Amino acid sequence: MKRCIPLIRKSATVLGRWLRRLILALCLLWSLGLWIYQPICLIVPVLTAVLWWWVLRRKYTESALWGSFGLSIVAYLLLPGPQPPKWQTPWEHAPQFTIEGDTLTIRNLRDFHYRSEQDYDPIWRTESYNLAALTGAEFAECHWDGMEAICHTMISFSFADGKHLVVSAETRLPEGETQSAIGGLYKRYGLLYLFGTEEDIYALRTNYRHEDLLLMPMDITPEGARKMLLHFIHESEQAEENHTAYNTVSNNCSSGVMRTFRHMTPDMPYYYDLAPVHNGSISRLLYKHGALITRQGESYDALRKRCYLGYDISKDSPQDYSKAIREKIQP
C-alpha cells in the first residue's frame, strides 16, 4: 500500500496538470471568440504580449496565457451594452409603461399582422389593461427542430374582459446582424422584453414558423399574477435603461422568468438559477412544485400532451386565435 501512494500522488499531479491545461484551453477559446466578435478587445492580447516580453522575459508561458484570459474578462466586463443606430424591425421599439391606479397603459405593444414569417405589417400600438381584472397567467414554451432541452419561454396574462398579454424576452438584433449562439456570448445583441398580443407573439411561431408551442395554465392567484406582471415591467425598464446585453448562457429568454419566480418565491433553491441554461426543464420544475394546474393524478408527460397546441391555429381568423388555442387545451 505504501508503494502505491507515490504512484497515486504522481497520477493525481499529472491529471491535475492536464485538467488545468484543458480549462486554460477553453478559456483561451472563449477569449478568441471575444477578439473575433468584439475586435476592440484585440488590445488585450497585444498588452499581454508586451507584458510577457518586457516584464516576464518570456518565462512562465502558462502564467502569461492565464493573464491574457484575465485581461479578456476585464475587457468584456467593461464593454457597454449594444446601442446601435437602428434595431431590426421586430425589435425596433421598447415598451413604455404608465400605471395609474389599476390601469396599466403600454405604449409600443407589438401586434404585427403576418402573411408569412418575413412578410408582415409592423404595428406598434397603445393598449390599456385593468390590473384589477387580472385572472391568471400561463407558462408557454416553444421548441424547434425537435429540441426538448432548449426552448423559448414566455408568459401570458389573462384578463376578465377577454384580453391576453404576452411577455417575451427576446434577442434584440441590430440592423444587419444575424443571430448566433456564439455571437450571443459577446454582447453583440440587446435584450428586449416584448409585450405583445398572442395573435403576434404566439401565432408567429405556430402559424408561420411551425414550431411546437405548449401553453400550460399556472396555479396562481390574481394577486400573484399581478405581482408577476409588475416584476416583468420592472425587468423590462431596467433592461432598456441599462442597455442590457443578451447572453446565450447567463441572460437569455428564460433568465428574466427565473428572476421573476425568485422574486415571488425567495426561498427557491439557488441551483434553480441554472435552469435558463437548459430551459426546457423549467416547466418540469413548475410541475414538481405544483405551480401548474393539473388534473387529479396527471403526470408531467400527460400534461404536456394535453397542452400541446399544434400548427396553423385559427389562421384564417387571426382575431379568434386566443380563443382557439384555449379550446385546444382540455380543462
Q: pLDDT tens across 261-283, in order?
A: 988 888 888 888 888 888 889 99
Better-predicted residue by pLDDT, 147 or 134: 134
Q: Which of 45-49, 114-118, 120-124 has the lowest mean pLDDT?
A: 45-49
Element (H, E) at 143: strand 134-143
Longest dimension (CA), the chain: 80
Q: How far apart are CA 326 and CA 215, in angstroms?
A: 9
Q: How far apart are CA 277 and CA 255, in angstroms?
A: 9
pLDDT beyond 80 at 81: yes
Of residues 112, 292, 128, the one with CA closest to residue 202: 112
pLDDT beyond 80 at 111: yes
Q: What is the pLDDT of residue 63?
A: 75
Q: Collapsing DSSP states into helix, strand and coil, what is residue 149?
A: coil
Task: Give bridge partners of residue 60 from the DSSP assignment.
Answer: none
Q: What is the pLDDT of residue 304?
A: 94
Q: How far apart are CA 124 and CA 94, in angstroms?
A: 10
Q: 148-176: per-residue pLDDT in tens? A: 889 999 999 999 999 999 999 999 999 99
pLDDT beyond 60 at 1: no
Better-predicted residue by pLDDT, 146 or 177: 177
pLDDT beyond 60 at 58: no
Q: How far apart are CA 318 and CA 116, in angstroms?
A: 13
Average pLDDT, the chain: 89
For residue 92, the number of C-alpha atoms closer than 13 Å in the C-beta half-sphere is 14
pLDDT beyond 80 at 96: yes
Q: Is the pTM of this model over 0.85?
A: yes
Q: 118-133: per-residue pLDDT in tens? A: 999 999 999 999 999 9
Following DSSP, what letter does each residue of 279-328 receive, concatenated?
GGGHHHHHHHTT-B---TT--HHHHHHHTB--SSTTSS-GGGHHHHHHHH
The mean pLDDT of 224-241, rounded to a whole number, is 96
Q: Collapsing DSSP states into helix, strand and coil, what is residue 330?
A: coil
**Rounded (10°) CA dihedral 282, 287, 291, 292:** 100
Look at the block and give the residue holding cell 389562421.
315
Q: How far apart are CA 326 and CA 213, in angstroms?
A: 12
Q: How far apart are CA 274 and CA 305, in angstroms?
A: 26
